[in-house]
Amino acid sequence: MRKVVIPRSGGYERLRLEEAPDPLPRPGEVVVAVEAAGVNYADCVIRMGWYESAAEYVGWPITPGFEVAGTVCALGEGVEGLAVGADVLAVTRFGGYASRVAVPRHQVFSRPKGLDAAAGAGFPTVFLTAYYALFEAAHARAGDRVLVHSAAGGVGGALVQLGRVAEAEVVGVVGAAHKMEAVRKLGAICVIDKSSEDLWAAAERHGRDGGYDIVLDGNGVTTLKQSYRHLAPAGRLVTYGFHSMFPRRGGRPNVVRLALDYLRMPRFHPVRMANENRSVLGFNLSYLFGKRELLAEAMRRLFGWLAAGRIQPPPLTRYPVERVADAHRDLESGQTVGKLVLTF
């Protein structure tokens, strides 16, 4: 098989395509012949050496990747409900940038009809992140006013769509004018282009009842403090990433800037939160794949909404696996819309 290997942290030159023996399934595992693998910003952070759960679960060298789609090519002892040759998608705790992946059975799902391999590989991570943020962490309700940062990205676009499913009123934030129409089509009631107007002045105009019921923020230090300040009474701030701490060009973080941004990160005091009646919640999706019941329920509901036409897969940009460095470079630039996938 072929797989992308990162021997140690660094820039795009660390991404190496290598040959390796095909994996054999252990009891309870499924081997997937991968046709496409999703690319997520977390993969870039892994390459830079700053993704904590990567060190906890794997270490160097590492093959990044949290999601794949393809066909079943081998089944381990005790696996039921799947046959060799079945079209599937799967979530992985690293290792997804490979043409063969062995995955625990509970992390493998029959691919819905109408999803080709590329669309299947680009679906689960962004929608699971959005699902957990909205429904498990923030408990979105009909009529909630929701602010979504980076609304044209993979997770942001999924958040806008699931906000519409929850019958919430979503205000999307984008960083360039060419992204606005895509977010409107996903269901945002209005879109703020922070490159052409003051973000927080616009957010105040579009908020209500003192602010927002839910703010969803993957940016980190550049917006977290103001995101919290723009919560309405009983509002919930959910953070799931810290993209603004990392470079948009060059592929290598500035360690001094990282340290300064860490020191600038807002601290939320529990007494103040109680007095202000606001909440701050955070999570890392890679720690949740082992929660079988939660994962199964989330995927069942997402597939149901997909079949009913209430959500749609993100727009895709495909890269052959040989161009994995280009995929990372483009994703880090902040100029992409939707989801990037590698094809094998």
153-184: pLDDT as tens digits? 999 999 999 999 999 999 999 999 999 999 99
Comparing 87-101, 164-178, 185-199, 240-254, the range with the smallest average pLDDT is: 240-254
Give the β-pairing of 190-193 and 145-148: unpaired
> Is 12 among the domain residues?
yes
- pLDDT confidence tier of residue 297, bands split at 50, 70 and 90: very high
109-131: pLDDT as tens digits? 999 998 999 999 999 999 999 99
**Cross-strand bridge partners of residue 69:** 36, 89
- pLDDT confidence tier of residue 240, bands split at 50, 70 and 90: very high
> Is 295 among the domain residues?
no
> Is 33 among the domain residues?
yes
CA-based radius of gyration for the chain: 20
Are 275 and 338 in a shared domain? no
- pLDDT confidence tier of residue 289, bands split at 50, 70 and 90: confident
The length of the chain, given as a count of residues: 344
Are 233 and 115 in a shared domain? no
- pLDDT confidence tier of residue 250, bands split at 50, 70 and 90: confident
Give the β-pairing of 67-75 and 29-39: antiparallel
Are 133 and 257 in a shared domain? yes
* Helix H or strand E segment including 25: none
| Other Cβ atoms within 10 Å of 298 Cβ, number | 20
Q: Left (φ > 0), alpha (ψ -120 to 50) or beta: where does 143 sit? A: left
Give every CB contact of residue 89 below 8 A, 6+ residues apart in sequence: 67, 68, 69, 108, 109, 111, 115, 120, 121, 123, 124
CATH no. for residue 197?
A: 3.40.50.720
Domain region containing 110: 2-123+313-343
Are 83 and 100 in a shared domain? yes
> Is 301 among the domain residues?
no
State the Cα–Cα distance between residues 188 and 160, nearest whole angstrom.
6
The answer to whether 241 and 219 have CB atoms below 8 angstroms apart is: yes
Are 31 and 134 in a shared domain? no
Are 144 and 176 in a shared domain? yes
Give every CB contact of residue 223 below 8 A, 6+ residues apart in sequence: 149, 199, 217, 244
Report the predicted TM-score, pTM, of the whole model to 2 decimal places. Answer: 0.95
Are 336 and 252 in a shared domain? no
**Number of compact structural domains in the chain:** 2
Are 130 and 113 in a shared domain? no
> Is 298 among the domain residues?
no
Q: How many degrees, rounded to 5, is the angle at CA 174 between CA 171 and CA 177? A: 115
In this predicted structure, what is the pLDDT of residue 17?
Answer: 98
> Is 246 among the domain residues?
yes
- Is pLDDT at 139 greater than 90 in this prediction? yes
Last residue of a domain, one of 249, 268, 286: 286
State the Cα–Cα distance between residues 161 and 273, nearest whole angstrom.
29
First to last CA, the chain: 10
The answer to whether 170 and 187 have CB atoms below 8 angstroms apart is: yes
- pLDDT confidence tier of residue 106, bands split at 50, 70 and 90: very high
Handedness of CA 302, 94, 51, 333 (dihedral sign): negative
State the Cα–Cα distance between residues 79 and 24, nearest whole angstrom.
14
Are 258 and 325 in a shared domain? no
